[in-house]
Amino acid sequence: MKHVLIFLFWLLVAVVAIALTIVLGERGAWYFAWVLGTVMIVLIAAAGTAIIDARYDEHQDDQY
Amino acid sequence: MQELDTVIELSRTQFAATALYHYLFVPLTLGLSVLLATMETIYVITGRDIYRQMTHFWSKLFAINFALGVATGLTMEFEFGTNWSTYSHFVGDIFGAPLAIEGLMAFFLESTFVGLMLFGWGKLSRGKHLLVTYMVALGSNLSALWILVANGYMQNPVGSVFNPDTMRMELTSLPDLIFSPEAQAKFVHTSIAGYVTAAIFVVGISAFYLLRRRHIELAKRSFRVAALFGVFATVGVISLGDALGFINGSAQPTKLAAMEGLWETAEAPAGFNLIAWPNQEEKRNDFELQVPYLLTPLVTHTFDESIPGVSDLEVDAEAKIRDGIPALTALKALRENPDDAEARATFDAHQDNLGYALLVQRYVEDVSQATDAQIAKAAADTIPPVAPVFWSFRVMVVAAFLMMAFLILAVIYSLRGTLHRHNGFLRLAPWMIPVPFIANEAGWIVAELGRQPWTVYGQLPTWLSASTHSVGYMIFSLVGFVLLYTLFIVIEMFLMVKFIRLGPSEDRRESPVEPTQRHSSQWSEA
């Protein structure tokens, strides 16, 4: 049940993010948004993955 | 006329087939190149060899896909000249520019750096190799940019004017062409759809390894980076899909009507057709299931605007055809006598709707003699095939939301470190791999079939765009392409499965040259 609630919460966050983008940008500067968005996605994905090493250095378990 | 119709349909089928095959490879290249750059960034920052192995392994799969993508893409550029010669003559001055830039700038950039990326391990320093990988990602996406600028022009022709003396469209503003809202939204939507494709691909294969407890260190990191990469990309791709729909609403109202199955103009607040059986012959939906009030804000971003339906759009098209007929008649007079001032004045006054008059020429050679029935028939032609556009759009949207939900779950499980407890999810993940490919193909069908009956919307009808090949030639080349491209798909699948089964290579011989190593080699050389 907890997992379902967490999932629904983040699903709601995603839907709100989409709704905000729709409201804010109809004919936006999409090329600029692409550059900015790609850099953001790369950095967040890289940082979120690098955390694995810190975590496994601490626990040394075989969980993933 | 019947043979001409057959040739046009065969030309369309051939282009659709080659484009759909090609488009199976493109999105993965676009996304995986950026994902590789992300993986290598972590390697350069952390210095951990596992990230080099990750980049190295996924770049093998990237290389297979890239090679076959190039092989299937090259023929398409030639197809414009061989099968669509009238189209190429009509818009060559505009369409040729972005395609040439794509070839000379983006594709050469991408191809040159792909070689360095694949064979530069062990020869370039970490930083230089990372730069090379980013150049591959940039080149791939710039390549898509120029193609989509050209395609954006076909959807919404801006920055050009028709010259009656040369019978060609001529470029008046390159910035208008490059920065048209259609091109911008289309490029970003397509590029990010590639990110999602790559993310689901990497998550699916990583889940396969985790389930079989093979290459766990590589798989759990690949899973994490792809899931995070993909979850943001899905939000982006859905948002840009909406922006593209909004832009289409004003630029191509006929496509919007087909996407939404709207036969009559929908007054605000209109309901959204969740499911419907469009009946084009009777111009109604045989069955429809609506979500009330949703369509108006979704499409117009307001609560009070009406959305034109097929019936009103046909009336509008009829008026445009009647307005365009004097332009076409004057154009013929100008071709005989370019100094005919009266004909030029008539042409200038009506040239905005010249393309609509060309639609009626399909039914009558001398358009000034067109009957009401022929004009009505041509007006009905302005509506694309509703059912395939309507359903392709829904397949794409459902797939996008499905992938978003899947990637949110993937991120939650990965960040909480509980993936090993969710074998069901890990089993599901490889089966998700076809979903983005289906969504991409469906999106392409919406964009291109929804543009019919035009090759260049409102300017050049499809029926006038094709070359005059024989039916036999078209069937021969179509069968040839289908067989060849099917073989390419089989080769791709075989190589992908082979390298996925083999898994990552664990050897360290190919790690990029470290600064200290370079120093020592320089010392020894000295």
Span B341-360, pLDDT tens digits = 999 999 999 999 999 999 99
Q: Which residues, at least 6 apart from B491, have a Cβ–Cβ distance to it below 8 Å?
A: B68
The predicted-structure confidence for B123-138, as pLDDT tens digits, reads as follows: 999 999 999 999 999 9
Using one digit for the tens of pLDDT, what is the confidence trace for B377-404?
999 999 999 999 999 999 999 999 999 9
Residue B13, H or E segment: helix B2-46
Same structural domain, B93 and B217: yes
In a domain, B521, yes or no: no
Q: Are residues B158 and B29 in the same domain?
A: yes
Is the Cβ pair A37, B404 closer than 8 Å?
A: no
ipTM for this prediction: 0.86
pLDDT level of residue B153 (50, 70, 90 thresholds): very high
Please tell me whether residues B37 and B181 are part of one structural domain.
yes
| Alpha helical stretches, state H, B47-107 | 49-83, 85-101
| B443 in Cβ contact with B193 (< 8 Å) | yes
Instruction: Specify whether B54 is located in the same domain as B194.
Output: yes
* Domain co-membership, B374 together with B283: no
Identify whether B269 is preceded by a cis peptide bond (ω within 30 of 0): yes
Q: What per-residue confidence (pLDDT) applies to B516?
A: 44
Considering the domain architecture, whether residues B409 and B377 belong to the same structural domain is answered as no
Instruction: Please count the structural domains in chain B.
Output: 3
Q: Which of B274, B275, B254 is nearest to B263 (CA)?
A: B254
Tell which of A1, A5, A9, A64 to mutate to test the B interface (max B CBs under 10 Å).
A64
B121 in any annotated domain = yes
Q: Which residues of B touch A31 (CB under 8 A)?
A: 179, 184, 187-188
Residues B226 and B78 in one domain: yes
- Assess if residue B524 is contained within a domain: no
- The label of the residue with tokens 């605007």 reads B305
Q: What is the pLDDT of residues B191-217, one digit of tens each?
A: 999 999 999 999 999 999 999 989 999
Pick the residue from chain B with its C-alpha nearest to A20.
B239
- Provide the percentage of residues in chain B whose pLDDT is more than 70: 96
**Mean pLDDT along residues B43-55:** 93
B189 and B132, same domain (yes or no): yes
Whether residue B392 sits in one domain with residue B245: yes
Tell me how close the Cα of A12 comes to any Cα of chain B, in angstroms: 10
Give me the residue spans of the domains in chain A. Answer: 2-59
Nearest to A49 among B195, B225, B404 (CB): B225
Predicted local distance difference test score (pLDDT) of residue B321:
96
Q: Is residue B526 part of a domain?
A: no
Of B524 and B68, the one with more pLDDT: B68
pLDDT tens, residue by residue, B285-296: 999 999 998 999
In a domain, B283, yes or no: yes
**Chain B positions in Cβ-Cβ contact with residue A36 (cut-off 8 Å):** none
Tens-place pLDDT, residues A13-48: 888 888 887 777 666 788 988 999 999 999 999 999
Closest Cα partner for B181 from B170, B169, B189? B189
Q: How far from chain centre, in Å, is Cα B207?
A: 28
Helix, coil or strand: residue B170? strand
Q: What is the mean pLDDT of residues B493-512?
A: 76
Choose one of B381, B396, B414: the last residue of a domain.
Answer: B381
pLDDT, average across residues B362-376: 92
Say if B35 falls within a structural domain.
yes
Domain termination residue (choose one: B381, B409, B438): B381
Q: What is the DSSP letter of B508?
A: -
Question: Does one domain contain both B286 and B420?
Answer: no
Same domain, B142 and B190: yes
Which among B325, B356, B381 is the end of a domain? B381
Confidence of residue B513 (pLDDT cuts 50, 70, 90): low
pLDDT at B509 over 70: no
Beta-carbon neighbour count of residue B2 at 10 Å? 7
Domain around B328: 311-381
Asked whether residue B517 carries a pLDDT value surpassing 80, the answer given is no
pLDDT (0 to 100) of residue B420: 86
Is the CB of B38 less than 8 angstroms away from the CB of A42?
A: yes
End-to-end distance of chain B based on CA atoms, in angstroms? 78
pLDDT at B431 over 80: yes
Statement to judge: residues B246 and B275 lie in one domain = no
Model confidence band, residue B522 (pLDDT cutoffs 50, 70, 90):
very low
Interface membership of A64 toward B (CB under 8 Å): yes
Q: What is the pLDDT of residue B519?
A: 40
Among B423-427, B451-455, B456-460, B502-506, whose mean pLDDT is lowest? B502-506
Residue B29 lies in a domain: yes
- B-chain CB neighbours of A34 within 8 Å are 187-188, 191-192
| Cα atoms in the 13 Å half-sphere on the side-chain side of B67 | 14
The region of weakest confidence among B69-83, B172-186, B384-398 is B69-83
Query: From CA A52, how far away is CA B50, in angstroms rounded?
Result: 12
Q: What is the mean pLDDT of chain B?
A: 90
**B443 CA: distance to closest CA in chain A (Å):** 19
pLDDT of res. A58: 55
Q: Tokens at residue B383, please?
A: 């509506």
Residue B90 covered by a domain: yes
pLDDT tens figures, B471-484: 898 999 999 999 99
Q: Which pair of structure tokens corresponds to residue B189?
A: 């939507």
Query: Could you tell me where the DSSP H helices lie in B156-266?
Result: 174-178, 181-211, 216-251, 253-260
